[in-house]
Amino acid sequence: MDLAINGKKHTVANDAPQMLLWVLREQLSLTGTKYGCGEGQCGACTVLVDGAPVRSCLTPASACAGKQITTIEGLEQNGKLHPLQEAFLACDAMQCGYCTAGMIISAAGLLHKKPTPSHEEILAGMQGNVCRCGTYPLILDAIAKAAKGAGHAA
Protein backbone atom coordinates (compact mmCIF):
# COMPACT_ATOMS: atom_id res chain seq x y z
CA MET A 1 0.00 0.00 0.00
CA ASP A 2 1.00 3.64 -0.46
CA LEU A 3 1.34 6.18 2.31
CA ALA A 4 1.96 9.92 1.92
CA ILE A 5 4.48 10.80 4.61
CA ASN A 6 6.07 14.21 4.98
CA GLY A 7 5.02 15.10 1.46
CA LYS A 8 6.52 11.99 -0.15
CA LYS A 9 4.86 8.80 -1.35
CA HIS A 10 6.14 5.62 0.26
CA THR A 11 5.16 2.09 -0.72
CA VAL A 12 5.01 -0.13 2.34
CA ALA A 13 4.17 -3.76 3.01
CA ASN A 14 1.00 -4.28 4.99
CA ASP A 15 0.16 -7.94 4.39
CA ALA A 16 -0.25 -8.50 8.10
CA PRO A 17 -2.06 -5.39 9.33
CA GLN A 18 0.29 -3.18 11.32
CA MET A 19 0.01 -0.08 13.41
CA LEU A 20 1.30 3.06 11.70
CA LEU A 21 4.00 3.45 14.38
CA TRP A 22 5.74 0.22 13.33
CA VAL A 23 5.49 0.97 9.65
CA LEU A 24 7.16 4.33 10.28
CA ARG A 25 9.87 3.02 12.56
CA GLU A 26 10.70 -0.40 11.14
CA GLN A 27 9.92 -0.18 7.46
CA LEU A 28 10.82 3.44 6.81
CA SER A 29 13.39 4.02 9.58
CA LEU A 30 11.52 7.17 10.65
CA THR A 31 12.51 6.60 14.26
CA GLY A 32 11.80 10.14 15.40
CA THR A 33 8.30 8.92 16.30
CA LYS A 34 8.69 7.15 19.63
CA TYR A 35 7.22 3.95 21.03
CA GLY A 36 6.17 4.86 24.56
CA CYS A 37 3.40 2.80 26.12
CA GLY A 38 2.00 1.22 22.97
CA GLU A 39 -1.55 1.45 24.22
CA GLY A 40 -2.59 5.02 23.71
CA GLN A 41 -1.77 6.50 27.08
CA CYS A 42 1.39 8.58 26.71
CA GLY A 43 1.31 10.44 23.39
CA ALA A 44 5.01 9.82 22.52
CA CYS A 45 3.96 8.25 19.21
CA THR A 46 1.82 11.21 18.09
CA VAL A 47 1.88 12.04 14.37
CA LEU A 48 -0.30 14.34 12.30
CA VAL A 49 -2.86 12.77 9.98
CA ASP A 50 -4.30 15.44 7.71
CA GLY A 51 -3.01 18.01 10.18
CA ALA A 52 -4.64 16.51 13.29
CA PRO A 53 -2.63 14.82 16.06
CA VAL A 54 -3.33 11.09 16.43
CA ARG A 55 -1.51 8.29 18.21
CA SER A 56 0.29 6.09 15.70
CA CYS A 57 0.41 3.11 18.10
CA LEU A 58 -3.40 2.87 17.92
CA THR A 59 -3.76 3.73 14.25
CA PRO A 60 -3.74 0.88 11.75
CA ALA A 61 -1.55 1.90 8.80
CA SER A 62 -4.45 0.88 6.53
CA ALA A 63 -6.53 3.68 8.06
CA CYS A 64 -4.07 6.27 6.67
CA ALA A 65 -4.28 5.45 2.97
CA GLY A 66 -4.95 8.62 1.00
CA LYS A 67 -4.15 10.86 3.97
CA GLN A 68 -1.22 13.18 4.60
CA ILE A 69 0.97 11.95 7.45
CA THR A 70 3.46 14.30 9.11
CA THR A 71 6.12 13.01 11.49
CA ILE A 72 8.74 14.94 13.44
CA GLU A 73 11.13 14.40 10.52
CA GLY A 74 8.77 16.36 8.29
CA LEU A 75 8.74 19.61 10.25
CA GLU A 76 12.16 20.88 9.20
CA GLN A 77 12.09 22.60 5.82
CA ASN A 78 15.23 23.09 3.68
CA GLY A 79 17.56 22.69 6.62
CA LYS A 80 15.62 25.13 8.77
CA LEU A 81 13.99 23.87 11.94
CA HIS A 82 10.30 24.45 12.55
CA PRO A 83 9.64 27.39 14.92
CA LEU A 84 8.44 24.87 17.53
CA GLN A 85 11.70 22.94 17.31
CA GLU A 86 13.64 26.20 17.67
CA ALA A 87 11.52 27.21 20.64
CA PHE A 88 11.91 23.82 22.38
CA LEU A 89 15.70 24.22 22.03
CA ALA A 90 15.66 27.84 23.16
CA CYS A 91 13.56 26.99 26.23
CA ASP A 92 15.41 23.74 27.09
CA ALA A 93 11.99 22.15 27.01
CA MET A 94 13.19 18.59 27.55
CA GLN A 95 15.18 16.53 29.99
CA CYS A 96 15.51 12.98 28.70
CA GLY A 97 13.84 14.00 25.43
CA TYR A 98 11.79 10.87 24.88
CA CYS A 99 8.43 12.66 24.82
CA THR A 100 9.74 15.62 22.81
CA ALA A 101 8.86 14.45 19.30
CA GLY A 102 5.29 13.72 20.37
CA MET A 103 5.09 17.01 22.25
CA ILE A 104 6.27 19.03 19.25
CA ILE A 105 3.93 17.19 16.87
CA SER A 106 0.94 17.73 19.17
CA ALA A 107 1.88 21.40 19.47
CA ALA A 108 2.22 21.64 15.67
CA GLY A 109 -1.30 20.23 15.33
CA LEU A 110 -2.54 22.74 17.88
CA LEU A 111 -0.88 25.74 16.16
CA HIS A 112 -2.12 24.51 12.79
CA LYS A 113 -5.67 24.83 14.12
CA LYS A 114 -5.18 27.77 16.49
CA PRO A 115 -2.16 29.87 15.50
CA THR A 116 -2.35 32.06 18.60
CA PRO A 117 -3.69 29.87 21.42
CA SER A 118 -4.33 31.15 24.93
CA HIS A 119 -2.57 29.47 27.86
CA GLU A 120 -5.74 27.45 28.52
CA GLU A 121 -5.96 26.43 24.88
CA ILE A 122 -2.34 25.25 24.97
CA LEU A 123 -3.10 23.20 28.10
CA ALA A 124 -6.20 21.69 26.48
CA GLY A 125 -4.35 20.97 23.25
CA MET A 126 -1.50 19.21 25.05
CA GLN A 127 -3.67 17.00 27.28
CA GLY A 128 -2.68 13.86 25.45
CA ASN A 129 1.09 14.03 25.97
CA VAL A 130 2.88 12.90 29.10
CA CYS A 131 6.39 13.95 30.21
CA ARG A 132 7.76 11.68 32.94
CA CYS A 133 10.58 14.15 33.64
CA GLY A 134 8.01 16.81 34.42
CA THR A 135 9.27 19.52 32.11
CA TYR A 136 5.76 20.79 31.50
CA PRO A 137 6.35 24.47 32.42
CA LEU A 138 9.19 24.70 29.90
CA ILE A 139 7.13 22.90 27.24
CA LEU A 140 4.29 25.37 27.75
CA ASP A 141 6.77 28.25 27.54
CA ALA A 142 8.22 26.88 24.32
CA ILE A 143 4.81 26.52 22.66
CA ALA A 144 3.81 30.03 23.71
CA LYS A 145 7.11 31.33 22.35
CA ALA A 146 6.67 29.54 19.03
CA ALA A 147 3.11 30.80 18.73
CA LYS A 148 4.23 34.35 19.37
CA GLY A 149 7.16 34.11 16.96
CA ALA A 150 6.61 36.04 13.76
CA GLY A 151 7.69 33.21 11.49
CA HIS A 152 4.82 30.91 12.26
CA ALA A 153 1.99 30.71 9.78
CA ALA A 154 -0.82 28.26 10.34
Partner 1 sequence: MKAFAYINPANEKEAVAALSPQVEQSMPLGGGQDLLARMKDYVTQPERLVNVKTALESTVTPVGGGLRIGAAMKMADVAEHPEILRMYPAISAAAIEVGTPQIRNQATVGGNLNQRPRCWYYRNEEFVCFKKGGDRCFSPQGENQFHAILGAGPSFIVHPSSLAVPMLAYGATFRLAGPKGERLVPAANYFTLPRQSLRMENVLAPDELLTHVILPAPGNVKSGHYEVRYKASHDWPIAFATVLIAMNGSVVKEAKVVMGAVAPVPWRSAEAEQALVGKSITEATAAAAAEAAMKNARPLSQNGYKVDVAKTAVKRAILRAAGIQTA
- Binding residues vs partner 1 (CB under 8 A): 16-17, 19, 38-40, 43, 46, 49, 52-55, 58-60, 62-63, 106, 109-110, 124-129
Closest separation between CB of residue 112 and partner 1, Å? 12
CA torsion through residues 35, 109, 92, 151, sign? positive
Nearer to partner 1, 23 or 110 (CB): 110
Nearer to partner 1, 39 or 153 (CB): 39
Nearer to partner 1, 70 or 129 (CB): 129
Nearer to partner 1, 6 or 106 (CB): 106
Closest separation between CB of residue 62 and partner 1, Å? 6
Closest separation between CB of residue 135 and partner 1, Å? 17
Nearer to partner 1, 57 or 94 (CB): 57
Closest separation between CB of residue 63 and partner 1, Å? 7
Q: What DSSP string runs through the chain? A: -EEEETTEEEE---SS--BHHHIIIIIS--TTS--SSSSSSS-TTEEEETTEEEEGGGSBGGGGTTSEEE-GGGT-BTTB--HHHHHHHHTT--SS-TTHHHHHHHHHHHHHH-SS--HHHHHHHTTT---TT--HHHHHHHHHHHHHSTT---
Tell me, rounded to whole angstroms, the distance of Cα 21 from its chain centroid. Answer: 12
Closest separation between CB of residue 78 and partner 1, Å? 29
